[in-house]
Chain A
Amino acid sequence: MLHPEMVGAEDTQAIYRDGHRLDHAEGASKPLRSRPEPQPRGAKVHGNRPIDQAEAAARFIASPEHEKMHDERLWDLRQKRDREMHHIPEWEELRSLASAIKEHTLTHLDEYLDQFEARARANGIHVHWARDAAEHNRIVHGILKDHGAKSLIKSKSMLTEECGFRPYMASAGIEVIETDLGERIQQLDKEDPSHVVVPAVHKLRTDVAKVFADTIGTDPDNSDVHYLAEAQREATRPLILAADAGMTGGNFVVAETGTFVVCTNEGNADLSGNVPKLHIASIGIEKIIPRLEHLAVFVRLLSRSALGSPMTQYTSHFRSPRKGGEMHVVLVDNGRSERLGLEEFWTSLKCIRCGACMNTCPVYRRSGGLSYGATYSGPIGLIIDPTFNARKYSNLPFASSLNGSCTNVCPVKINIHEQIYAWRRELVKRHDVPLVKKAAMKAAGELLSRPAAYRVAIASADVALAHLPRFVIYNGLDAWGKHREVPHPPKQTFHNWYKANRGGEQ
C-alpha cells in the first residue's frame, strides 16, 4: 500500500525514547519530501445548489503530492487503530456495549437530558437550550455581551462549525481564536476543517508555511514542522492569556453527575476552560450518556478508533464552575430531534465523531474532506448531511464504494454503508438525484430486473469495451468511466462459462 516515493523518506524529526519511536497522539506518518504544489481548494458552494463532490475530488486527485500524503496519513491512522484493537481482547464487546448504551440513551433522550439539566444546575452550571444554529449563536453572543467580552479562545468543535459560529461572531465584532493547531491553521487560511479529528490533514507542510508566513509572519521559505508549530505556540499564547472568555465543545455528557467531558491532545480545551473566568460549552443533545460507568466504555474506544492511541493526551471532566468562575452549557438540537424520528437513519446519532470511517474510506482518502462541501465529510457525513439539506447534499451518498469498511471500524456500530444505500433510495424517491445519474440508474434497474436482457447486454458490453475507442467510453454521459478506469472485459461471461463447463452436470 505504501507509495514507492514514501519508502525510505527521511525521518529526521521523529521523537524517540529509549530507542523506540513514539507514535502516540495524532499518528506520526512518514514525512514527505514535498515538492511545491498549490493546495487544491474544496468544493464550490453556490447556495442551495447540489455540491459537486466529484468535481472537487478530481481537482484533489490532480494534485499528486496532496493526494498521496492524505491517503498515506489516513491509512496510517487506520492501521494504528487496528493495532490498538488487537491489544484489547474485549474490543468487540466494547463496541457492542457502546452501541447498546447509545441506543438506550437515544430511546430515552428526553429523560436523560432532563436529568443532566437538573444535576448541572444544582452544580452551579447555567444550562441553555437552542433549537437551531441561529439560536445557539444568539445565546452565546448574549452571554458574551453580558460580560462585556470582546475576545474568545475556543477549542475545536464540529457543532460550532455546523452553526456557522465564527462568521456570526465576526459580524458581531467578537474575535474568536481557535486553539487547536489544525483548526487554527484552517481559521488563518479561511477554510473549514476537512476532518473531524485532524482538521488540516489535507495540507502539506509547505501549505502551512505559506499560511503562517501570510498571517503570523513566519519565514516563507521555512517549512520545518517544529519551527512552524513553535511559531504558532508563541503567536497564540498572548491571545490565550488576554482572552475574555473560553469556549469548548463536549465529547460526552454524563446525566448522572451533570458532567461534560472534553477530549483533546493539545490540552487546548483545558486552556480555554481554565484560563478565562467565563467558560461556555456548546454541546449537541445526542452526546449524552446515562452514567459514569458508561463513560469508561467510550473513553476506551474514542482515541483508539480515531488515531490508534490508547487515549487522548487530555480527557477532562467539567462538573461545575471553578472558584470565581462562571460556566454555561448550551444544549443544541439543530435537527437532531427530527433525525431521531427517521426510522432508517436515527442510529446515525450514535456517532462519537472519532473519524475512523473517514480514515478507512477509499473515496475520502483520495478526495479530501473539503471536496464534500459540508461540515461533516466522509462516510458519516454522507448520512448526516442530507438530514440538514437533502437537495444541497444530494450527491454525497454517491461518493461511496459501499465496501462496508466504514461500518466495520465504527466503534458504536452504526450501519453506515447501509444508511448510505438507504439515502440513495430515499433521494431517488424525493427526485433529488441529478438527471444523468437518475437516467443511468433507471436503465440499470430495468436491465437488472430482466435476466435475459442483462446477459445479452453484458456480452455485448464486453465486446464493446474491448473494441470501442476511449472517447466513447469515457465521456460525460458515462458516470462510471468519469472517475475510474473501466475494467478490462473478460473473454467470456461467467454465465457462458458456467453453461459450457458446469451446465450439464446436474
Chain B
Amino acid sequence: MTSRDDILESIRANLPRVDRPVPHVPMFDEDPPASLLSAFKDSLERMGGIFLAPPASGDVLAPVRVKIAGAKVVCSTVPELSGSRDIATVGATQELADVDFAIVRASFAVAETGSVLLSETDLNINALAYLAQHLIVLLDPADIVVNLHHAYRRPEFRERHYASFHTGPSATADIEGVLIHGAQGVRSLSVLPIPRNHQPQPTSPQEKKHD
C-alpha cells in the first residue's frame, strides 16, 4: 500500500462522525472608507511602507526619480521608467543580488491592510522583489479593493503561478522586540499612485495638465 492510500485510509477510519456544513463567508463591505486611496495610504504607512505623494502638477514620477538619483543599479519592469539594467537580459536570479532599486507595478492593492499584490507577470523574475535593496511599486488608484474578501475574488489567484501580498518592507523584531526593516528582503518599500495609462507630461509649463 502506498503512503498516500495509507494516510487517506487512516483519515477515513478516524473522521469525526459529526455534521459540519461549509459556512457562507460574507464580504464584510457594508461600511467602506470614503477614499480607498487614503485608507490604503494609512494602512501602508502603519506597516512601515512609504507612500510617495505625486506632485499636483508637473512630472508625476518626480518622487521616484529623486529616490533613485544616486543609485548604481536600477532594474525596472515598468514602461514609465527605464533602469540601468534591463530585466530581459538577466539570466540567473542570482544576478539580481546587486540591484539597489527595483521598480515594478502592482496588479492591485488592498485598502484594509495596505498590501500590494505582485505576481510573476509584474516582476518578470520573482526574486527581483526580494534581492533588491529597495522596492518601488507603481499603483493605479483604480486597482484598490476594499478588503481581503474582495481581494481573493480577483482572477490573479487562479491564473498566476505566484502571487504575493507585500505589506511594507521586509521586517523583523526577532531580537528583543526591536523593529528592523530589511532583515533579509528589501530595506524599504515605496508606493507611488499613478494610473496605468498615464502619459508623460509635456515639459512646457503652459501645457501642464492636472491628473
Contact = CB atoms under 8 A, between A and B. Distances in A.
B15 A24 contact: no
A15 B177 CA distance: 12
A27 B175 CA distance: 11
B161 A293 contact: no
A259 B164 CA distance: 12
Interface string A192-235: 00000011110111001000000000000000011011000100
Contact of A313 (B12, B148, B161, B167): B167
A83 to B, nearest CB: 12
A294 interface: yes
Nearest to B169: A313
Interface stretch (A338-346, A365-373, A435-443, A494-502): A338-346
Nearest to B175: A225
A100 B23 contact: yes
A225 to B, nearest CB: 4
Interface residues of B, number: 77
Contacts of B193: none
A311 B167 contact: yes
B14 A338 contact: yes
A319 B6 CA distance: 26
A323 B160 CA distance: 12
Contact of B165 (A25, A266, A273, A315): A315
A225 B173 CA distance: 9
A310 B178 contact: no
Contact of A129 (B2, B50, B151): B2
Contacts of A39: none
Given A97-B23, A228-B175, A313 B11 contact: no
Interface stretch (A144-152, A178-186, A467-475): A178-186
A300 B148 CA distance: 7
Interface stretch (B56-64, B68-76, B110-118, B198-206): B110-118
B94 to A, nearest CB: 5
B182 to A, nearest CB: 7
Interface stretch (B82-90, B124-132, B136-144): B124-132
B25 A110 contact: no
Contacts of B2: 129
Contact of B43 (A226, A293, A310, A316): A310
A292 B165 contact: no
A217 to B, nearest CB: 17
B8 to A, nearest CB: 5
B20 interface: yes
Given A17-B45, A340-B15, A267 B23 contact: no
Interface string B157-188: 11011111111111111111111111111100
A314 interface: yes
A314 B176 contact: no
Interface string A45-87: 0000000000000000000000001000100100000000000
A107 B14 contact: no
Residue of B7, B28, B151 ringed by the most chain A CB atoms within 10 A:
B7
Residue of B21, B22, B158, B181 ringed by the most chain A CB atoms within 10 A:
B22
B209 interface: no
Nearest to A18: B45
A414 interface: no
B47 to A, nearest CB: 5
B42 to A, nearest CB: 11
Contacts of B162: 273-274, 316-319, 322
Nearest to A337: B10
Interface of A: 13-15, 17-18, 22-32, 34, 69, 73, 76, 89-90, 93, 97, 100-101, 103-104, 106-110, 113-114, 117, 123, 129-131, 135, 179-182, 185, 198-201, 203-205, 208, 225-226, 228-229, 233, 236-237, 240-241, 257, 259, 265-268, 270-271, 273-275, 285, 290, 292-297, 299-300, 309-323, 331, 333, 337-341, 343, 346
Given A101-B23, A129-B4, 12 more contacts: A15-B181, A25-B172, A25-B173, A31-B177, A100-B23, A107-B20, A266-B183, A271-B127, A275-B94, A296-B147, A316-B164, A321-B161
Interface of B: 2-4, 6-8, 10-16, 18-23, 25-26, 28, 31, 43, 45-48, 50, 93-94, 97, 112-115, 120, 126-127, 129-131, 147-149, 151-153, 157-158, 160-186
10 contacts: A25-B48, A25-B179, A73-B177, A240-B184, A292-B157, A322-B161, A337-B14, A341-B13, A341-B16, A346-B16
